[in-house]
Amino acid sequence: AQKVTQAQTEISVVEKEDVTLDCVYETRDTTYYLFWYKQPPSGELVFLIRRNSFDEQNEISGRYSWNFQKSTSSFNFTITASQVVDSAVYFCALSEAGAIGANSKLTFGKGITLSVRP
Amino acid sequence: EPEVTQTPSHQVTQMGQEVILRCVPISNHLYFYWYRQILGQKVEFLVSFYNNEISEKSEIFDDQFSVERPDGSNFTLKIRSTKLEDSAMYFCASTASGVLVGELFFGEGSRLTVL
């Protein structure tokens, strides 16, 4: 069975600090996909990134960066120079490959509530 | 920008009542989903729907739940006889054929409160 663990539940930082959100996953699949979603106070879920299990190259997008370590089954997310608008709940998720077409059953972690204070 | 829309945003109902949550997926999308999030907990997969039939469902999605695409635009989740533990935020999502797996477009959610 697939499992996603986000051990941190709440993180509070001061604006401009860097913050790393941890994600550890379990799966028996050799091919799988990992994701991060953001849930701002308005409630919707916003897709941030998708990574497949064959691509361990780290990715940077503006102030966001992701570190995928297959050896430790981790997919951590770092926000550099955090801003108040980054305050949200962040979910890590896992999906098996081999899904038919675009059929996507995601297994989510419990989420990390990030509060960025001015 | 196209978006998934859900109605109602919040519904309060009595235990045992039937509830229908409505979703309008993005127009050219073919795969539809319902997820739920009990307050303060993780988001859980309920069901996926493609080509007018359920393609996968979770253990949560028991006989009290059903989904339907009654016309070319709406995608509904019906709970026949609500229980207290059905209180949650319900998210509809959709994605298109050819879109990368997992890159779902979620609606803003419908909060269901069962009293």
Closest CA to B31 of A15, A114, A60, A101: A101
**Helix, strand or coil, per DSSP, at residue A84:** helix
Cα(A111)–Cα(A95) distance, integer angstroms: 16
Angle made by CA atoms B62, A90, B91, in degrees to the nearest 5:
30
Q: Phi/psi zone of residue A43: left (φ > 0), alpha (ψ -120 to 50 degrees), beta?
A: left
Averaged pLDDT, A106-112:
93
Across the interface, of B44, B55, B100, the residue whose CB is closest to A103 is B55
Interface of B with A (CB under 8 A): 30-31, 33, 35, 41-45, 48, 50, 55-56, 58, 89, 91, 93, 95-109
Chain B partners of A90 at a C-beta cutoff of 8 Å? Answer: none
Q: Phi/psi zone of residue B85: left (φ > 0), alpha (ψ -120 to 50 degrees), beta?
A: alpha
Which residue reads 């919040």 in tokens?
B10
Q: Which residues contact B57 (CB under 8 A, 6 or more apart)?
A: B46, B47, B48
**Helix, strand or coil, per DSSP, at residue A71:** helix
Closest residue on chain A to B93 (Cα): A45
Chain B partners of A49 at a C-beta cutoff of 8 Å? Answer: none
Joined together, the tokens standing for residue B58 give 């979770």
What confidence category does residue B7 fall into, taking pLDDT thresholds of 50, 70 and 90?
Answer: very high
What pLDDT, on the 0 to 100 scale, is given for residue A98?
55
Q: List, for residues A57-100, the tens digit of each pLDDT value.
A: 888 889 999 999 999 999 999 999 999 999 999 999 998 765 55
Cα(B85)–Cα(B77) distance, integer angstroms: 16
Smallest CA–CA distance, residue A89 to chain B, in Å, is: 10
Task: Give the CA distances from residue A16 to residues A13, A39, A111, B54, in Å, rounded to whole numbers and listed in that order.
Answer: 8, 20, 22, 46
Interface of A with B (CB under 8 A): 33, 35, 37, 42-47, 50, 91, 93, 95, 97, 99-111
Task: Decide if B91 and A108 are in contact by the 8 Å CB cutoff.
Answer: no
Joined together, the tokens standing for residue B45 give 């997969």
Chain B partners of A47 at a C-beta cutoff of 8 Å? Answer: 103-106
What confidence category does residue A18 fall into, taking pLDDT thresholds of 50, 70 and 90?
Answer: very high
Of A82-91, B38-47, B83-92, the least confident: B38-47
Cα(A53)–Cα(A61) distance, integer angstroms: 19
